[in-house]
Structure 1
Amino acid sequence: MLKISGITLFPFIFIRNPEDKKNKILINHEKIHLCQQLELLIVFFYIAYLIEFYYWFFKLKNSHKAYRRISFEREAYAMERDMNYLKKRKFWGFWKYIK
């Protein structure tokens, strides 16, 4: 089972531990998900997210590895430390992370 620090359910970001609310990297990661969700009109984000997760889960037989292979997560993890990323991010920035 995955242990999550935060989750974004548009338009909200939920953070598990109160002290993590000050974690700029985690918040930036979740803001990237907000942008992704808006680009896919919210519902299509969740559909695509689940399709990708199950595709990788059945292929890899490991929920953590499947989670890390999701294009949305790959983009968010790759760019979470760049605090200016959302200002320069291209539309459908996750697309280049699809394998």
Structure 2
Amino acid sequence: MIVVVNRYLLPRGTYGMTLWPFILVRDSRLRKDPVLINHERIHLRQQLQLLIIPFYLWYGIEFGLRWLKYGNRKKAYSNLSMEREAYANETDLDYLQTFRLWSFIRYL
């Protein structure tokens, strides 16, 4: 896990983002935020299990479909299966110890 601090690489209002193999954070203080880092580490594991490029394809297609469904980008983002899994488990700092293959499917 490589954490990069750079506020210019992130969209406005975004505190963290995972782009394999990097976790990007807006502020150096966020490097020590265990919940944010765990959320992004869950995305790293999702990306790895889907062999990285298919992760981005799935994420993009699902985002597009949800945007069409809800007509709202924020609502589409918050209903993505991969985001729902990460948000649901971000406070469980041991979640990655029990992480199962394709577990995000439960959040579709």
Give TM-score, length-normalised by structure 2. Answer: 0.87
Q: Which runs of 5+ in 2 are unaligned?
A: 1-10
Q: Percent identity among equivalent residues?
A: 48
CA deviation after TM superposition for structure 1 residue 2, in Å = 6.4
Which amino acid is 2:83 matched to? E
Q: Which amino acid aligns with 1:62?
A: N
TM-score by length of 1: 0.95
Instruction: Quote the residue 1:72 is aligned against.
Output: 82
- Alignment-mate amino acid for residue 47 of structure 1: L
What SS does the corresponding residue of 1:59 show, helix, strand or coil?
A: helix
Give the CA deviation at 1:89.
1.1
Whether 2:68 is the aligned partner of 1:45: answer no
Alpha-carbon separation, structure 1, partners of 2:46 and 2:55: 7
Q: Secondary structure at the match of 1:65?
A: helix
Q: 1:47-66, aligned counterparts within 5 Å? A: 47-66=57-76
* Aligned equivalents of 1:29, 1:62: Cα separation in 2: 23
CA RMSD of aligned residues (A): 1.2
